[in-house]
Amino acid sequence: MPSSPTALVYSKAFDAYSYGEQHPFQLHRYGLALDLMEAYGLLQLPHAQRRDCRPVTEQQILSFHAPDYVKRLQEFSASDRPRADFLFGLGDAECPVFKGLYEYAALGAGATLEACRLVVEEQFSAVLSLAGGWHHAHRARASGFCYLNDAVIGINWLLEQGRRVVYLDLDAHHGDGVQEAFYDSDQALIISMHESGIYFFPGTGFEDETGIGKGLGYTVNLPLLAHTDDPLYMRAFDEVVYPLMAAFNPDIIVAQIGADTFRTDPLTRLEITTHSYAYLMRKLQALKIPWVALGGGGYDLMNTARAWTIAWAAMNGVELSPRLPAAFVKKIRARGYPHSMLLDALHWADPHERLLALDAAEQSIRAIRKNIFPILIGGDQARNL
């Protein structure tokens, strides 16, 4: 168990919003995750707290986002009439416009900011913001289901408090909005492991995107080919991400822990399971560095519920049964879910496809160790790793 308290930040107000019944980003995934956590007894832990949140202020939003974009969000949010402004990425199938949109986005960012505040001001060891992780939102454009970039707003606040921050993005999609915010800065280390943008949204996040100016070397991208499986994923994390995080020695880790890397996710082609996901969560907790976890993506709802339950258990130092609780299984069977296990067996991809993914991963690892390690770790030490 952690020596200091942990918190799960979530507001019931999220239940009032919807992207639409046919949209892949379904907000009732939050309720499913909370049901599973409840079934495992993770919402009654003596050192863990549930915290509500409130929307961020316009001033806090403007720490990253452009005033004209924020004004248009507010304007569209006030009406239930269908509208669009493609200059700002609003109103298409990806980023629909609905009444209350601005309030919804501001509340999500507020949950992440509250998570950051709890770590800094109340010395919580780990905080999970289920509704956080909108890493595609750009300074003046909505993108990839994201309207306000809660991660950037939270990191900006942490930097104002004098904290040293690592941002780790484990979502299947590259964290392009966060990269945009800190590309020329050495105040935070930005690391993203994701499916390669060669053929995949948002088409960015390649190894040679390493920052500019004083930010050179402080942006790290580890693109992975389709069919990257559990062993490759864990290897990439251990050989690149873990040593860089340790070398940077942050005060706080902000981790986007999206669950869309899983092999049954309908929008992605990685082949990760809860086996390697649980491994990464345990490794993050083992660093003994205060951390904020942001829910991120995940479009197979049971995968998302299982992933976030695993993350919350790791943050609290709790070992869970690999089998889902019987009462929860009975409940989800009525909804058509066939799952009975929390933890999957180690998965290996098809040998031919895995070989292609292995070659690509090794090239990425070599490039990062050659170009980034000497900057962040130091020449002699980097050569010995």
Break the chain into its structural domains and give their ranges. 28-384
Nearest to 48, CA basis, from 94, 100, 9: 9
Is the backbone peptide bond immediately before 223 cis, with ω within 30 degrees of 0?
Answer: no
At residue 266 the predicted structure's pLDDT band, cuts being 50, 70 and 90, is: very high
At residue 384 the predicted structure's pLDDT band, cuts being 50, 70 and 90, is: low
Residue 261: strand pairing partners: none
Average pLDDT for residues 268-297, to the nearest whole number? 98
169: helix, strand or coil: strand
Report whether 262 contacts 303 (CB < 8 A). Answer: yes
Average pLDDT for residues 249-253, to the nearest whole number? 97
CA distance 253 to 111: 16
Largest Cα–Cα distance in the chain?
A: 61
Q: pLDDT exceeding 90 applies to what percent of the chain?
A: 95
With tokens 């904290």, the residue in question is 163
Neighbours of 160 (CB within 10 A): 9
CA distance 290 to 119: 7
- The Cα-based distances of 358 to 124, 257, 288, 354 in angstroms read 38, 23, 31, 6
Report whether 298 contacts 260 (CB < 8 A). Answer: yes
Q: pLDDT exceeding 70 applies to what percent of the chain?
A: 97
Kindly give the pairing relationship between strand 219-224 and strand 165-169.
unpaired
Tokens of 286: 């083992």
* Those residues with Cβ within 8 angstroms of residue 212's Cβ, 6 or more apart along the chain or in another chain: 183, 184
What is the pLDDT, as a whole number, of residue 385?
56
CA distance 305 to 324: 11
Q: What are the φ/ψ torsions at residue 165 (nearest 5 degrees)?
A: -125, 135
- DSSP code for 239: I
* Those residues with Cβ within 8 angstroms of residue 368's Cβ, 6 or more apart along the chain or in another chain: 207, 220, 222, 240
How do residues 215-244 score in pLDDT, each as one tens digit? 999 999 999 999 999 999 999 999 999 999
For the domain spanning 28-384, the CATH number is 3.40.800.20
What is the pLDDT, as a whole number, of residue 363?
96
Helix (H) / strand (E) containing 188: strand 188-195
CA torsion sign for 230, 234, 240, 241 is positive
At residue 82 the predicted structure's pLDDT band, cuts being 50, 70 and 90, is: confident
Report whether pLDDT(380) > 90. Answer: no
How do residues 16-38 score in pLDDT, each as one tens digit? 999 999 999 999 899 999 999 99
Report whether pLDDT(197) > 60. Answer: yes
Average pLDDT for residues 252-261, to the nearest whole number? 98
Q: Which of the following is catalytic: 65, 135, 136, 194?
A: 136
What is the pLDDT, as a whole number, of residue 48?
97
CA distance 186 to 208: 17
How do residues 111-164 score in pLDDT, each as one tens digit? 999 999 999 999 999 999 999 999 999 999 999 999 999 999 999 999 999 999
Report whether 331 contacts 339 (CB < 8 A). Answer: no
pTM for this entry: 0.97
Burial 320-348 (b: 16+ CB within 10 A, else e): beeebbeebbebbeeeebebeebbbeebe
What is the pLDDT, as a whole number, of residue 1?
65
CA distance 272 to 72: 38
> How high is the mean pLDDT of the chain?
96
194: helix, strand or coil: strand
Q: Is 138 a catalytic residue?
A: no
